[in-house]
Each structure stands twice: as C-alpha cells, then as structure tokens.
Amino acid sequence: MTNSVKEESVEVDGCPIHLRRAGSGETILFLHGAHGVGTWNPFFQLLAQDAALIVPDHPGFGRSQPRGLVETVADLAYVYLDLIAQLGLKNVHLVGHCIGGWAALEMAVRSPGAIARLSLVNSAGVSVPEVRMGDFFIATPERLPGLLFADPARGAALLDAEFGAIDDATLHANRVMAARLSWSPRLFDPALERWLRRIGVPTTVVWGRSNRILPPAYGERLRERIPKARLAVIESCGHLAYLEQPAAVAQAILTSGRQA
C-alpha cells in the first residue's frame, strides 16, 4: 500500500465501516465482491490516478464490523446510500463487482439521484435460468482458480498475491457473510430485474469473456434491461476481472460511461 492511501473507520448507523481512499477528481465508490478486498492492487492504483477512489469493506467483511441488520444485499444497499449521504458525496460514480455490483443495482433503483454513473463488473443480481452459473461457494481451493480466472495457473498466483496475507479468520468471515447475503436464491434477487428500468444514468457493463461464474449471457441481460447501458467485453478474462485484466477493466470504467 502506498503512502497516498488513507485508511479510516466511518460509523454508519452504529456500524463501523473500514474505508481506504486515494486519488482526486471524480468520486468513485467501489463495492467489492464475495471474496472481499485484499491488497491495494494495480486496479485500484489505476482508478486512483484518475479519480477520488473510496474502497470500503462491506459490513462483516475485512476490517468492517459485523452488523446484524444486514441480512440481504438490499440491506447492504441502504448502508451505502447512508454512507454517501453521511460523507456528503456528490455525483458518485458507483462501481460494483459481483455482489458489490448487485448492491449497486439495488442502490440505483432505490435512490438514483445519489449516483451520476454506474459501472458493473461481472455483476450478480439477475438470473438467466437457461445459462447455468458456476458455484464458487462449494469449489475446492484447487478448483477455485479455474472457476474465477481465464488462466487458472496465473489465477492461482493472483489469488495468493491478493489474499495470501489475510488471516484465516478474516477469510472465513468473508465467506460466511458472502453466503449470508447471496446463498438463496444464489447470486440474484428475483424482484430486482423488473425495476432495472428505473436506472437512468449512463451505465457500463464490464464482462469477462471467460467468466465461468456468471457467463456473458448475464452481462447481456443487464445491458438489455438497463436503459442507458453499454456492454464492454474483456478478452482473456474471467470472473475476478479487475485482478486478471486490471488495465482493460479500469479503462472501460473510466471511459465508456462518459460516452454513454
């Protein structure tokens, strides 16, 4: 982590939320996926070169405290809407990966005025029943890189670099909280899709061509349902796109939405 990254704890409705911040410019609030936040990685560094980046740990993940009232991703969305208001953030570019993208969708349909742009990176939240999703919840450690990355061998090294220094108790807590939020129904809200029409801001849907957790049909579904959405497909890229192809994903986030 560089000296330019600042860490703080912000209490939202009685729940301490751990934040990392860096950079200046447009405000980007990044909501992480089911595996949590590891290092201040190259993807974050790229975003922070062009924006004021804020990266929180969800309640129950990382260094944020558990919060009993967060039982669903919709609950998580309200926490972050409260955080935006509490920090006095304006014209927020909301970026979400996996369940963080799902939370971003829930935020955007509930309170679109808080968000100026939306970027969804391999986002959960909708169902495509005819296309089976992968299941990282039950995958063995040996199979996990093959599910999460286009290149499993490189993926194993990326996972170790990103999460290898995190203690087992935190990793276990992350898995428990991810399952609590998204186990049933698995990675989607059956009521959400019909409300995606309420999202009126420029939206970039960023998808890994080789995503085995949420195949590209899920990205197409979001592009179809969100009125101002564009789809950017990243080659040689799986589910943990921001680790596997950080430059391509960062470029899609920082540029495509502005052209929508």
pLDDT tens digits, residue range 57-71?
999 999 998 877 899
Note whether 114 and 106 are within 8 A (CB).
Answer: no
Task: Write down the pLDDT at residue 195.
Answer: 97
Residue 184 is classified by DSSP as T
**Which ranges of the chain have pLDDT less than 50?**
1-2, 259-260
Domain boundaries defined on the chain = 6-259
Q: Which helix (H) or strand (E) holds 251?
A: helix 246-251
CA distance 180 to 104: 18
CA distance 148 to 137: 12
Question: Which two tokens mark 257?
Answer: 């939405």
CATH 3.40.50.1820 fits 6-259, yes or no: yes
Question: Which two tokens mark 115?
Answer: 């968000």
Task: Write down the pLDDT at residue 260.
Answer: 43
Question: Which two tokens mark 6?
Answer: 């600042």
Note whether 61 and 177 are within 8 A (CB).
Answer: yes
By CB atoms closer than 10 A (0-12, 13-18, 19+), residue 5 is middle
Task: Write down the pLDDT at residue 14.
Answer: 87
Note whether 104 and 95 are within 8 A (CB).
Answer: yes
Question: Which two tokens mark 233?
Answer: 């497909």
SS3 label, residue 176:
helix
Summarised one tens digit per residue, pLDDT across range 73-82 is 999 999 999 9
Site of tokens 């420029």: 202
Summarised one tens digit per residue, pLDDT across range 183-226 is 889 999 999 999 999 999 999 999 999 999 999 999 999 999 99
pTM here?
0.96
**Amino acid symbol at 239:** H
SS3 label, residue 46:
helix
CA distance 174 to 178: 6
Q: Starting at the earlier edge strand, list the strands of the sheet with 6-12.
A: 6-12, 15-22, 51-56, 26-31, 92-97, 115-121, 203-208, 229-234
